[in-house]
Structure formats: structure tokens, C-alpha cells
Amino acid sequence: MSSPTRVLVLNSGSSSLKYQLLDMRDSSRLAVGLVERIGEQTSRLKHTHVTDGDTREQNGPIADHEAALKAVAGELSRDSLGLDSPELAAIGHRVVHGGMFFTEPTLVDDEVLTEIERLIPVAPLHNPANLTGLRTARSLRPDLPQVAVFDTAFHTTMPESAARYAIDPRIADRHRIRRYGFHGTSHAYVSRETARLLGKDPAEVNVIVLHLGNGASASAVEGGRCVDTSMGLTPLEGLVMGTRSGDLDPAVIFHLERVGGMSTDEIDTLLNKRSGLFGLCGDNDMREIRRRVDAGDEAAKLAFDIYIHRLKKYIGAYYAVLGRVDAVAFTAGVGENAAPVREAAVAGLEGLGLAVDAGLNAVRGDGPRLISPEDARVKVAVVPTDEELEIATQTYALVEKNSH
Ligand code: AMP
């Protein structure tokens, strides 16, 4: 029998489980789905068998991630794509925090699980859910390779000058405080796809990647290696996001505590969940914000302007970090869809060789495309991200390598 070619990708959030089953012969999707509100009475599983275009929903309580994965396995079995299929080569898991320890995709064993567990203090929201997903999948198919693909791995090439905060290194090391960066699978995929769009080898190309989704981060990628990124110890640092503040003077926190009388947990919630675009104007969806801006809403306009100002600062900063830039790539929900954001972020940067062609920018499309004028010194691109495909590709490559 020929070797198995399917990879199941699992992305376990605190109360959700997203999954995709891919066939790596042609990177096609066989099934995709999502379990939401795990642990509540109103859980929902939405499953699509891509080949048939058939979508099914299950509503009703799903107690935990184990029950969720069992329900997913049941749906896959109904489509003859079950976890027991001999065509399944591996399960690839998104793991948010790999610290400094995990620099590449890793075959999961007990030791790896222990190390991911040790990182919980620096990723309290994400790593516990990722671990549950890993453990459950292992218990369902103990014989199958399970691969952890880390959001932080792509950023482990950052030099110490970019990765360290300017604090006492003994304190930093004791508490594992450094800039780890996130969205790494997306930055890796998009920087590579941008090189491909330019018809060049990734090793020859310097790219600024702007991953603008509900969470947002920028990265400076030099010849395929990340040399700086905007998220830090946690995903709170950097750009203005849907609900996160991004950069601020750390003394704001002391001030809120001492003068505002807020607790550490309250400030954490404020900065992570009630700030950013949402905190500024009450909306975190860029579509709604643009609608309000176009209708003359002042708060939405200020939120948009602050968002763009920060973005522009990072483009300039990463231009300086890289020295030479071949392309700026926009990706994720906002980056792929919001033409006004792309236009405003690049406006006035002609001196850096950056410009957007209004006509090309306005065209909607699914694939990677250039939106800069033909003679532009620095290309501006829209490159749709595909984190699931990247996780599947990395997972399959590791399994293939180990089988030879
Ligand atoms: P993501 O986290 O990558 O799924 O991105 C989600 C965000 O993308 C949403 O919160 C919106 O702000 C934004 N978004 C999605 N579609 C559009 C669109 N057509 N125009 C503008 N923004 C969009």
C-alpha cells in the first residue's frame, strides 16, 4: 500500500476546536469544521465535507475538548474520513507558545508535553487548551504521529538585540521574559508566498509582513529568517488590534493601579479585551469602522487614524531594521480585505519607494497579488494567509523525513 498522505490539523482554543483534514498530494481540503462554546450548554459543531459540499451541524452541550474531538471524529467517520483511516499520516497541532525551546515542528512525546506544560505561565490562555487537544488526540490514536507546530518557532531566529527587553537579564532569564512573537506560521507562510509572487528564492528577499486580523502583528523577514516582530512576551505588544492596546508606556499600568485603583486582573482584561479599536470606538470589526468613518463618525475616525499611525511606525521601523526592503505584504482578515487600510498605511511613504496603485488595490481577489505600481521600487502585495496549510505542510514534511 502507498504511504498515507492525509493530515488532520487541530487548533484548540480555550473554548473552541477548529480542524481541517488535508490531502498533501495536492494540498486539498477534504473536511473542515469548528466546535464552538465547548463546556457550555449551547455548544455547536459545524462540519463540512468539502468534496460533497455537505455541511452538518450538531447543537447541544459538549462538555470538554475530549468530547469535542470525539464528536469531530464521529463526523469524519460519517464521511469515511475517520481517525482510524489508514490514509491518515499524522495530526498536526497548533501550539501557541513554544518558548525558546521549540525552534521547529516537533514530534510529540511525553517529554514534549511536559515542556509545553512548563510554558503555561507565559501562555496561560493558550497552552492549556493546546495541551488538552494534544493529549486527547494521542489517547484516540496513540500509534499516530502527532506533531506540534509552534506560533513562536519562526521568530526564534531573532537576534538577541531584538528579542531582549532592556531589563536586568538575570531577572528576565529567571522569569523567561523576552520577546517571543506570535502568528509565526502565518509570517513564515506569507513571507515565502511573497517571494514566490516576486518569482524569487525566499533567501534573496526581504519582506515586511503585516498580519492584520483581530489580533495583529508585523514582522521583518530577512532572506526567509525573522529578524524582528511586533508581539513580545505575550500577544499584547505592538500594533493596535481588535481588542488589544498594543504598545503603551508600561507606566500606564502602574498609574491605573495606583491612581485608578484597578487590580492587575482588571488591567489585564482592559488591555487585552477592552482596548484597541473596540476600546477606542466600541467596534472591533474593520468593516463596521469603515462604514462609520464614511458616515462621518468622529470616534471611528480617531480609532482608524490611531490604528494606521501605529502601522506606519512599524513599517518605518522594520524598513530601518532590514535596510533594504523588497516587499511589504498585507495578510489576514483586515490586510486581505480592507483596501482603505492598505492605502492609508502606505500613503506618504513614496520617499521609501512604497506606493499603492488605487485601481489594483480596489480589486478583490482570492490569491496573492501585487497592488503597487509596476515600476515601484518596493512591491506592495496582498497575500492571503493559510495557517492550516502551513501546519499541515510542516507536519507532513516531518513525518515524511522520519519515515525515510
Ligand atoms: P482574522 O482574525 O484574520 O479572522 O480577521 C478578522 C477581522 O478581519 C475582523 O474582525 C474584521 O475586522 C476584518 N475583516 C474581515 N473581513 C473584512 C472586510 N471585508 N473588510 C474589512 N475588514 C474585514
Residue 244: phi and psi, rounded to 5, are -105, 145
Output the CA 383–ligand 1 centroid distance in Å.
14
Catalytic residues, by residue number, are 151
* 382 grid coordinates: 496582498
CA distances from 273 to 12, 328, 371 (A): 20, 29, 33
- Cβ density class 137-168: b for 16+ within 10 Å, e for less: bbebbeebbbbbbbbbbbbbebeeebbeeeee
* 297 grid coordinates: 463618525
pLDDT tens, residue by residue, 171-217: 999 999 999 999 999 999 999 999 999 999 999 999 999 999 999 99
Average pLDDT across the chain, whole number: 95
pLDDT tens, residue by residue, 248-298: 999 999 999 999 999 999 999 999 999 999 999 999 999 999 999 999 999
- What ligand 1 atom has the least distance to the C-alpha of 385? 3
Q: How far apart are the first and last CA of the chain?
A: 16
Q: Average of pLDDT values for 96-120?
A: 94
pLDDT of residue 1: 56
- Spatial distance between the Cα atoms of 318 and 86, rounded to a whole number of angstroms: 46
Label residue 301 exposed, middle or buried (CB < 10 Å: 0-12, 13-18, 19+).
middle
**Inter-residue contact 241 to 335 (CB < 8 Å):** no
> Using alpha carbons only, what angle is made at residue 13 by residues 278 and 26, rounded to the nearest 5 degrees?
110
pLDDT above 90 coverage of the chain, percent: 92
pLDDT of residue 374: 95
Nearest to residue 21, comparing CAs of 50, 57, 59? 50
**Inter-residue contact 300 to 292 (CB < 8 Å):** yes
pLDDT over threshold 90, residue 52: no
pLDDT of residue 336: 97
Q: Name 332's bridge partners.
A: none
**Inter-residue contact 216 to 241 (CB < 8 Å):** yes
- The residue nearest atom 18 of ligand 1, judged by CA position, is 337
pLDDT of residue 24: 97
Output the CA 224–ligand 1 centroid distance in Å.
27
* Higher local confidence (pLDDT), 125 or 102: 102
Q: Is the CB of 210 under 6 A from ligand 1?
A: no
pLDDT of residue 13: 83
Domains in the chain with CATH codes = 6-150 (3.30.420.40), 200-387 (3.30.420.40)
* 114 grid coordinates: 511536559
pLDDT over threshold 60, residue 160: yes
pLDDT tens, residue by residue, 219-248: 999 999 999 999 999 999 999 999 999 999
Output the CA 299–ligand 1 centroid distance in Å.
19
Residue 33: phi and psi, rounded to 5, are -175, 180
- What ligand 1 atom has the least distance to the C-alpha of 290? 21
Instruction: Provide the 10 A C-beta neighbour count for residue 270.
Output: 18
pLDDT above 70 coverage of the chain, percent: 100
Q: Is the CB of 83 under 6 A from ligand 1?
A: no
